[in-house]
Amino acid sequence: MALGQKEIKVVSSKAESSPHNSLELSIGSIATLISSRSQEFMVQTKERYANFIADGIDPSIKIEVEILPPQNLKTNPTPTVENPDVRFDNSKGRWTIIWQGLSGEFDLKSGEGRMGCGLSPVVLNSFLRFIYSLILLREPGFLVHASSLIKNGKGYIFPGKSGAGKTTITQLSPDSTLLSDDISLIKMLNGTPVAFGTPFWGALAVGGENTSTPITEIYFPIKGKTNYMKRLNPRQALEKLLPNVVFFAREEEFSKQLFNLCSDFVTMVPAYELHFLPKPTFWRCIDAK
């Protein structure tokens, strides 16, 4: 797959009122049904998630999207890009979120959710990340700020915050299969950590391939003046991984489950600091190891 720019068509006219339109997505082998009365929103969604559309599958997640005028959108002065307003409503047994131009709720037990938002191609992406961060724990699995790819038959992930070099790594790996340049999805399958492609892209503006691979190694990228690696023990790797995990819930039960899952992950997969120049030559260090 060419690691280039992908143009997303944004429809700016009013959302039409019509019978519900729907499509099915499969992300991390988890089936999600998206429905909305807005044909324009569904056109955007079909384009944005083209690699992840799957027909004839039984969805475990169902999301109904309502397109609202700006004056009807819920707002909150405190949420930021990094810290949305996420709460658990005990009376309804549902999670609620207000974040980046959307307000939504999700019932983890039934897998059903609703979202109100403006006509934008990115708000569903935010809501899906929120939902998947919850539902993946049952797999078990988690989302992490990391680029991930397959090269020479091996799976690699490169966790890091914005600016660490995640997208640069993918740009310097043209002979690889892209899974994600920003948000990677990891699941434990029969005791093996596996990375899945996601549509949750970053600066590269390209969705990953809808495929998966066992994870061979973890590399925490650090831009430098030379290429070299430093092996990390599981505790060091865990300390570096946890700040990059995508998770919004504050409840102790979920936090403990996620911590144990991440701890198991870094115990099973070798981890390194990767100091690298912005040239493909850093792969020589990895391949020579």
With helix as H, strand as E and coil as C, how does the chain read?
CCCCCCCCCCCCCCCCCCCCEEEEEEECCEEEEEEECCHHHHHHHHHHCHHHECCCCCCCEEEEEEECCHHHCCCCCCCCCCCCEEEEECCCCEEEEEECCEEEEEECCCCEEEEEECCCCCHHHHHHHHHHHHHHHHCCEEEEEEEEEEECCEEEEEECCCCCCHHHHHHCCCCCEEEECCEEEEEEECCEEEEECCCCCCCCCCCCCCCEEEEEEEEEEEECCCCEEEEECHHHHHHHHHHHEECCCCCHHHHHHHHHHHHHHHHHCCEEEEEECCCCCHHHHHHHC
Least-confidence region, from 49-53, 90-94, 127-131: 90-94
In this prediction, residue 74 carries a pLDDT of 60
pLDDT at 122: 84
Among 138, 156, 189, where does a domain finish? 138
- Single-letter code of the amino acid located at 3: L
CA distance 196 to 59: 18
- Place 19 in a pLDDT band, splitting at 50, 70 and 90: low
On whether both 206 and 160 belong to a single domain, the answer is yes
Confidence band, pLDDT 50/70/90 cuts, at residue 129: very high
Q: What is the mean pLDDT of the chain?
A: 88
Query: Model pTM?
Result: 0.87
Range of the domain at 90: 21-138
- Does 15 reside within a domain? no
* Residue 6 within a domain: no
Q: Are residues 109 and 215 in the same domain?
A: no
Q: Where a domain ends, among 138, 155, 184?
A: 138
Provide the pLDDT for residue 15. 38
Domain end call among 116, 138, 160: 138
Same domain? For 134 and 145 the reply is no
Let me know if residue 208 belongs to a domain: yes
Segment 92-112 shows an average pLDDT of 90
Look at residue 12 and tell me whether its pLDDT is greater than 50.
Answer: no
pLDDT more than 90, % of the chain: 73
In a domain, 14, yes or no: no
Domains contained in the chain, number: 2
How high is the pLDDT of residue 205? 84
Q: Which residues pair with 140 in a beta bridge?
A: none
Could you tell me if residue 3 is inside a domain?
Answer: no
Does position 110 have pLDDT exceeding 80, yes or no? yes
Q: Is the pLDDT of residue 147 over 90?
A: yes
Averaged pLDDT for residues 119-143: 92
As given in the structure block, the two tokens for residue 213 are: 């691979």
What φ, ψ does residue 129 adopt, rounded to 5°? -60, -40
Residues 113 and 209 in one domain: no
Phi and psi angles of residue 37, each rounded to the nearest 5 degrees, phi first: -80, -15
Residues 278 and 154 in one domain: yes
Q: Are residues 216 and 230 in the same domain?
A: yes
- Give the pLDDT band of residue 16 (cuts 50, 70, 90): very low
Give tens-digit pLDDT for 199-249: 999 888 889 999 999 999 999 999 999 999 999 999 999 999 999 999 988
Same-domain check for residues 256 and 190? yes
Q: Specify whether 162 is located in the same domain as 275.
A: yes
| Range 251-258 average pLDDT | 91
Q: Is residue 100 domain-resident?
A: yes
> Mind listing the pLDDT tens digit for each residue in 54-79?
988 899 999 999 998 865 666 544 43
Domain membership of residue 4 (yes or no) is no
289 pLDDT above the threshold of 60? yes
Question: Are 97 and 72 found together in one domain?
Answer: yes
Residues 51, 177 within the same domain: no
The domain that holds 165 is classified in CATH as 3.40.50
Residue 200 lies in a domain: yes
Looking at per-residue pLDDT, the higher value among 70 and 98 belongs to 98
Q: Centre a 10 Å sphere on the Cβ of residue 88 and count the other Cβ atoms it contains.
A: 14
- Whether residues 132 and 255 fall in one domain: no
Predicted confidence (pLDDT) at residue 96 exceeds the cutoff of 60: yes
Whether residues 202 and 272 fall in one domain: yes
The C-alpha atoms of residue 269 and residue 243 are separated, in whole angstroms, by: 18
